[in-house]
A and B are shown apart, each in its own frame.
Chain A
Amino acid sequence: MLIVLAVVGPALYRVSPNTMDLSMVGIGPTTTHPLGTDESGRDVLARLLAGGRVSLTVGLLAMVLAVGLGTTIGSIAGFAGGWVDTLLMRLTDAALAVPALFVVILVLTFLGPSVVTLLCAIGATSWMGVARVVRGELCVLRQQPFVEAAQALGTPQLAIMLRHMLPSIVPTVLVAATVGVPSAILTESALSFLGLGVQPPAASWGNMLSGAQTYLTSSPALALYPGLLILLTVLSVNALGEALRQARS
Chain B
Amino acid sequence: MSDFHMVVCVKAVPGSTEVKMDPKTNTIVRDGKQAVINPFDASALECALALKDDFIGFGMDVRVTVVSMGIPATESLLRDCIARGADDALLLTDRAFAGADTLATTYALKCGIEALDEDFDLLICGKMAVDGDTAQIGPELAGAFEIPCVTDVSCVQSAGFTTCGSLALVHGCDAGEETVYLEMPCAMTTAKEIGQLRMPSIAGIRAAEEADVRVVNAADVNADPARCGLAGSPTQIVRSFVPDRDQTCEAVDGTASEQAAKLAKIIEGMA
Tell me whether A and B are bound partners: no
> Footprint of A on B, CB under 8 Å?
none
> Footprint of B on A, CB under 8 Å?
none
